[in-house]
Homo-oligomer: A and B are copies of this chain.
Amino acid sequence: MKSINMIELARELGLSVSTVSKALGDSHEISASTKKRVLELAKKYNYKPNPFASNLRKKKGKQIAVVIPEIVNNFFALAVDGIESVTRDKDYDTFIYLSHESAERERTVLGHLENGLISGIIISVCSGREGYSHFQDFYERTKLPLVFFDRVPDLLQFPKVITDNYHSSYEGTIKLIKAGSKKPLFITTAEPMFTSIERRRGFQDAVESQGIIFTDDMVLECGDDMDINYAIIKKIIGSKKAPDSVFASIEKFAITTYQVCKDLNLNIPKKLKVISYSNLRTATLLSPSLSTISQPAFEMGREAAQMLLKMIEKKSYAAANDIIVLNNDMAIRDSI
């Protein structure tokens, strides 16, 4: 495959490569007529500048990376869709890396990206207690723009796109209690992450605001193994001192709760009210329809990407401490 290069283009045009390069870059120091000639021949040969050569020379490129815990998850898929909507628009290429909730994998990816392949990164961090020093280290070493979204390292000074986790959780809990719940259960991840922590706070404060004494057994921490989660949830929900409502911090725990209720023949919402953070499109079709707090995932991705590209393109742009907070959307359905 012999793809034409700038030298041959220049030769055929009787121009120097630098003139061709400038013409292709629409430089103001090139005459309109020359630009036209160059562009025409370039199109004729379907010439595309070699990005490796150009990136090498310019020491930067139009590639960014997206590092997320998983892709088989409506929230992240939507976020990627949002990111792509702006990178596509601005002619950036988007790499995708999945951490699969592994901090080690996250570090590996970051280490790899230190090679200079990309000009910026959009990240949603994996859960866990391993801290965020690798992000700080990465930044110190590369000075590359980083934007975090949703699951953010709250203690680090980076631009972020998040939602009002605390308040939406507070409101959701209030709904549960106003609907008659005396003993709500908050199901969250055993591995801590920014969103869960905020939501848990919102839950606890709301419970207490309604004159209910908050106790530790109002929070259940679940792990990755869905079979074990199923067993734990079943045990609690089927027990004597069962909760009368469940607030699932993440979607899959609501799904499991539904499964448990189905198997135990427990009526939702009569015996158990349920609400969950979720971006599930079929929430309305579950039986009963699931009440949800959904995050503006697409918009979050879009905002994060816009922020990142702004930082990449304007070196002086001081976005470093920008935090964009978007609103979640609560939909009360038959499960309450």
Q: Spell out A's residues near B (CB within 8 Å).
A: 1, 3, 46, 48-53, 55-56, 61, 63, 70-74, 77-78, 80-81, 84, 88, 91, 93-98, 111-112, 114-117, 141-144, 255, 258-259, 262, 280-282, 284-287
Contact = CB atoms under 8 A, between A and B. Distances in A.
Given A115-B49, A280-B282, A96 B94 contact: yes
10 contacts: A46-B141, A49-B115, A51-B117, A52-B55, A52-B56, A53-B56, A71-B77, A93-B95, A95-B96, A285-B287
Given A3-B142, A74-B72, A98 B81 contact: yes
Most buried by B among A63, A73, A117: A117
Query: What are the 9 A-B residue pairs with the smallest beta carbon separation, nearest first?
Result: A287-B287, A48-B115, A52-B56, A1-B143, A52-B55, A72-B77, A96-B96, A52-B52, A71-B77
B71 A81 contact: yes
Contacts of A285: 255, 258-259, 262, 286-287
A143 to B, nearest CB: 4
Contacts of A74: 72
Given A71-B71, A255-B282, A50 B116 contact: yes
Nearest to A98: B84
Contacts of A81: 70-72, 98
Nearest to A66: B96
Given A56-B56, A81-B72, A282-B282, A51 B94 contact: no
Nearest to A284: B259
A74 B61 CA distance: 31
A282 B255 CA distance: 8
A63 B117 CA distance: 10
A54 to B, nearest CB: 9
